[in-house]
């Protein structure tokens, strides 16, 4: 069995949080429909139904906010840790703009299952680590030009 990467675990957690948040959002609509004033006949019952409906929706909104914050954090961390740039881009754009893109990006991270290697240095970093030649003031035209005005 292949070892699971950290980005894959985070992407699975983020995907679960997104699905839970969607279910809770649908739950708010259902609570308004079933507990709402539609089925209440007496004026005394309308106030109680409205109060109960408000408390249920407030609790669901707080729970949805917590779940969305967890989804946001887990998705961003998974996107940063993955090596697949397409999945990284889709997830980050999806988190901020369109959640269906984040959904696709997280699934790609799960399928790709590969983290960025900490010891892997890119060619850019290797080039920057090479010893630079010493430049004297005679060789550098910028240093020789006088800016006295």
Distances (CA, A) of 71 to 4, 62, 104, 122, 140: 20, 14, 14, 30, 53
pLDDT at 100: 92
pLDDT in tens, the chain (149 residues): 667 888 899 999 999 999 998 898 887 777 777 766 565 666 677 777 777 777 877 888 899 999 999 999 999 999 999 988 999 999 999 999 998 999 999 999 999 888 877 655 455 555 555 666 666 655 556 655 655 44
- Check the CA dihedral 57-58-63-69 and report its sign: positive
pLDDT at 139: 59
pLDDT at 3: 78
Q: In angstroms, rounded to a whole number, what is the distance separating the alpha carbons of residues 101 and 92? A: 9
């Amino acid at each position: 069995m292949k070892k699971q990467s950290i980005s894959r675990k985070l992407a699975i957690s983020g995907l679960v949080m997104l699905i839970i948040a969607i279910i809770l959002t649908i739950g708010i609509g259902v609570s308004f429909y079933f507990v709402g004033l539609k089925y209440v006949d007496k004026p005394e019952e309308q106030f109680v139904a409205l109060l109960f409906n408000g408390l249920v929706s407030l609790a669901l909104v707080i729970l949805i906010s917590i779940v969305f914050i967890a989804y946001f954090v887990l998705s961003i961390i998974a996107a940063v840790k993955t090596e697949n740039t397409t999945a990284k881009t889709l997830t980050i754009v999806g988190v901020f703009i369109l959640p269906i893109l984040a959904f696709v990006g997280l699934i790609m991270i799960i399928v790709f299952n590969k983290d960025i290697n900490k010891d892997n240095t890119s060619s850019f970093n290797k080039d920057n680590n090479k010893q630079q030649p010493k430049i004297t003031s005679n060789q550098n035209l910028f240093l020789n030009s006088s800016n006295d005005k």
